[in-house]
């Protein structure tokens, strides 16, 4: 059995215009940055790389950062990054302006899940998001009052309008993609 392992090396830090930053406790990624080009970079402390079996040093806050992995998976500006629960492990969630969300393995940079279509629909640009307290759902907001709730475990979504109490004489909005 042969195993192909992609390797990339660069003489200096990747050049990208950072649009958002996430500080994580996930080893070995200390910092994650998103960029205008849709790339993410996982950064580690230069002094010592943390591993799942060996945590980062207590004073790891001091010292330079070194780029460890460049992640490709979005075609538009990254607008949001978060740490989330994905299946039975921790992951990094990203959202691009087109409304596509991805989940990434912080240890090796693999894309664990990618939305096939924009989550907000109708060409609505995503502008913000947040992880809800259980860390399995994200709320995504768009520029034209669109809000989606996404369950990272089941990959099901529901629009914010569907959570409102609708009078029986009204039907749900036509853009509703609620799976409940």
Provide, for the chain, the percentages of residues in helix, strand and coil under a 3-state DSSP scheme, each rounded to the nearest 5. 0, 40, 60
What's residue 37's pLDDT?
Answer: 93
What's residue 15's pLDDT?
Answer: 75
- Residues forming a β-bridge with 35: 18
What's residue 171's pLDDT?
Answer: 44
Q: Is the pTM of this model over 0.75?
A: no
What's residue 54's pLDDT?
Answer: 55
- The average confidence (pLDDT) of the chain is 75
Indicate the SS3 state at residue 104.
strand
What length does the chain have?
180
- In this structure, are strands 89-96 and 40-45 parallel, antiparallel, or unpaired? unpaired
What is the chain's pLDDT, residue by residue, as a tens digit (180 residues)? 556 655 666 666 667 899 999 998 877 778 999 999 999 999 887 655 455 555 555 444 566 888 888 999 999 999 999 999 888 889 999 999 999 999 999 988 999 999 988 888 777 888 888 888 888 888 888 876 555 666 655 555 554 444 443 334 444 444 444 443
Tens digit of each residue's pLDDT (9 = 90 or more) over 79-107: 999 999 888 889 999 999 999 999 999 98
Scan for tokens 């980062």, then name that residue: 56
């Amino acid at each position: 059995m042969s195993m192909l392992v992609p390797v990339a090396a660069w003489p200096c830090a990747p050049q990208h215009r950072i649009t958002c930053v996430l500080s994580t406790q996930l080893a070995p990624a200390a910092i994650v940055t998103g960029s205008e080009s849709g790339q993410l970079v996982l950064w580690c402390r230069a002094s010592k790389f943390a591993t799942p079996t060996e945590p980062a040093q207590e004073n790891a806050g001091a010292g330079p950062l070194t780029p460890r992995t460049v992640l490709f998976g979005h075609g538009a500006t990254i607008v949001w990054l978060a740490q989330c629960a994905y299946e039975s492990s921790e992951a990094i969630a990203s959202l691009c302006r087109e409304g596509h969300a991805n989940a990434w393995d912080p240890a090796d940079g693999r894309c664990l899940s990618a939305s096939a279509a924009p989550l907000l629909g109708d060409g609505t640009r995503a502008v913000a998001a947040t992880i809800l307290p259980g860390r399995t759902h994200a709320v995504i907001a768009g520029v034209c009052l669109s809000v989606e709730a996404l369950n990272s475990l089941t990959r099901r979504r529901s629009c914010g309008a569907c959570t409102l109490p609708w009078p029986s004489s009204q039907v749900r909005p036509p853009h509703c993609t609620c799976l409940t």
